[in-house]
Structure 1
Amino acid sequence: MEKLPKVGLPILIGVILLIIVLAKSAVTLDSGHAGVLYETLNGGVVADKDPLGPGFHIIAPWNRVIDYETRQQEMPEKMSVLSSNGLDIKLDASILYQPDYKNLGRLHNEKGENYVSRVLQPAIRSAARSVVGRYTPEQLYSSKRDAIQEEIFEETRKIVEPQFIQLNDILIRDVTLPPTIKQAIERKLKQEQESLEYEFRLVTAQKEAEKVIIEAQGKADANRILSASLTDKILQDKGIEATVKLSESPNSKVVVIGSGDSGMPIILGNQ
């Protein structure tokens, strides 16, 4: 085997060193990610320096980049908390969050890469205990769930936003009560529903009765007004008018004899 020329050996070593330097200097960040630059010779991460965005970057080989996902992320969380009367309530929630992009350096310096377990999880648990402790199991199970969700979100947001975490939403997927309490609440809700239906039927029946009374009263008033307006003279004129029309009918033969008690003609015979 031939020996390498004396000039070729340093070149080979130089190429190897160049490859190593380039490998340590080249950094590629995916979409939805950002990098915090750790400067070994400059005291670590400079907090007020903008993070590195997605794409290809060249850095000094003695520095390094800490990769953070900056897209919205979901953290499922199951919690056991106490209601206002001391009953154990289990919440199943989803927390939607992402790091504060502009303050990634501060987030890394103060909380580190494990900021979720160090800040977000304790904050959501503390807020859930505080909020749920103000409500009864019945409120948690039915009418107040949306309000409770909003209150937990607001209390958590106040804790995490000053610590460079952006909280987007908190979704309460499920509220689990002790079985006996849940059954008691369901029975009560069923009874309330039946009571409302019964009251509705009573109100409907009452309105129908009032309608019949009003219609009957209207007819009675109309008859009374009509009776008051019908004098003997008017009745006689109406009778004569009807008699004339009847006598003009081609299907009748009219014989008038005498008069009735009221002075009206008497009509006999027809065909």
Structure 2
Amino acid sequence: ILFIIFGSFKKTGPAWFEDAEGGGDKLAISFRPTGLLVGILFLVASIGVALATGQVPAGERGVVLKFGAVTDKTLGEGIYLVAPFVNSVERMSVQTVKQEEPASAASKDLQTVQTTVALNFHLNPERVNDVYQTLRRDYVSRIIQPAIQESVKAVTATFDAEELITKRPQVKSEIEEVLSSRLAINGISLDTLSLTNFEFSGAFAASIEAKQVAAQDAIRAENLLIQIRVEAEQNEAQAAGDKLAAIERAEGTKQSNILNSEGLKESAILEAEGQAQARVIRANAEAEARVIQAIAEAKAILEVADATADGNALLDATLSKQVIDFSLVENLAPSIRTVVIPSGQDLILSDALLGSNP
């Protein structure tokens, strides 16, 4: 602007003139139209360059407008150049944004449910033109908030109040699925979704608490019953073990007694057999001794007999016939003192009589 103003004037030379008061000299300056035109053109060019260039920051996309109408062209991150006064660029953020929204709904059993939905979302970079054309930058209040309310109501209506607590992961998954499909229609991508605790009316909360207390009492009673049953089974098992141990001990004692009895029996048998064998050996020894004794006695008798025979033979050879006859008579009649035998005769007794018993 200063260039245009001062460039349109030029210095004409030292033309001196008096001022109205009649004193002082003034410098004469003349107007130059060419300088003004150049200045205007330079200004217009500067404005055009400024309007034609720009920069799209990281995490944003540029929507190109042509005379204010949305085009299909989208500018990525970095410096861009467009036709000035024809095209303009509107920047749209595609970064992940967090949004928390309280939601109220009714369960399947008509219980009022309060919860807070926290979600992270971002604009689809490929559809920022559509979002800008239909929603501009007002997509949170016009799309996201109503979609959260509708999704929560649609899903909680299919669950009982208790199921909203017991099946919380399933409820969250279904709400996330419904909400994601609703947002995707409008070019918004859902990243994550979280649910705070479900809140119910005071009366229902009290009933749930009472039910939970009863359930806990039932669980404790069941656990106590299980404990008693386990202890009974343990006692029964211990009794069975003691019984089995007693049986095994009795069986062991029985086997020991049997073995002892059999040992004593075998010992008695062996002892009896030993005694019998000893008696047999003794009897055999005695018999053998008797036989030996008999043999010895027989030998002695034979020896005596032989000696007697030898003696008799010796006597027979040494004694006279008269002595023999005298001996015979003496044996036959020991009381007879005198025997008269005729002269020249033998004994009146024959040899046959002498060989017989009196």
TM-score (norm 2): 0.59
Decide whether the 8 Å contact of 2:117 with 2:148 is kept in 1.
no
The SS at the match of 1:86 is coil
Paired residue for 1:46, among 71, 80, 84? 71
Paired residue for 2:187, among 164, 179, 184? 164
Alignment RMSD: 2.5
Determine the structure 2 residue equivalent to 1:121.
145
* CA 23–224 in structure 1, closer or farther in 2 if over 3 Å, else same: same
Task: Report which stretch shifted further, 7-16 or 89-98.
Answer: 7-16
Decide whether the 8 Å contact of 1:160 with 1:167 is kept in 2.
yes
**Which amino acid in 2 is paired with 1:101?**
P
The SS at the match of 1:19 is helix
Decide whether the 8 Å contact of 1:38 with 1:45 is kept in 2.
yes
* CA 30–192 in structure 1, closer or farther in 2 if over 3 Å, else same: same
Rounded Cα–Cα distance in structure 1 between residues aligned with 2:32 and 2:263: 145
**Which amino acid in 2 is paired with 1:113?**
R
Decide whether the 8 Å contact of 2:63 with 2:129 is kept in 1.
yes
Determine the structure 2 residue equivalent to 1:155.
178
Q: Does 1:183 align with 2:206?
A: yes
Could you tell me how far 1:69 is from its partner in structure 2?
Answer: 0.6
**Which amino acid in 2 is paired with 1:34?**
R
Aligned length: 234
The SS at the match of 1:175 is coil
Could you tell me how far 1:3 is from its partner in structure 2?
Answer: 5.2
For residues 39-87 of structure 1, what are the alpha-carbon distances to aligned partners after superposition, in whole Å with 9 as ceiling and x for unaligned?
12xx82223x3x2112222222222212111011111111121111223
For residues 1-36 of structure 1, what are the alpha-carbon distances to aligned partners after superposition, in whole Å with 9 as ceiling and x for unaligned?
845543322222222222222232222222111111
Determine the structure 2 residue equivalent to 1:29.
56
Rounded Cα–Cα distance in structure 1 between residues aligned with 2:97 and 2:181: 19
Could you tell me how far 1:95 is from its partner in structure 2?
Answer: 1.9
Unaligned runs of 5+ in 2: 1-26, 265-358
The SS at the match of 1:80 is strand
**Runs of 4+ displaced beyond 6 Å:** 236-239
Could you tell me how far 1:104 is from its partner in structure 2?
Answer: 1.9
Decide whether the 8 Å contact of 1:93 with 1:174 is kept in 2.
no
- Bigger Rg over Cα: 2
Determine the structure 2 residue equivalent to 1:207.
230
TM-score (norm 1): 0.77
* CA 149–14 in structure 1, closer or farther in 2 if over 3 Å, else same: same
Paired residue for 1:137, among 154, 157, 161? 161
Q: Does 1:226 align with 2:249?
A: yes
Rounded Cα–Cα distance in structure 2 between residues aligned with 1:93 and 1:67: 28
Rounded Cα–Cα distance in structure 2 between residues aligned with 1:117 and 1:87: 27
* CA 238–46 in structure 1, closer or farther in 2 if over 3 Å, else same: farther
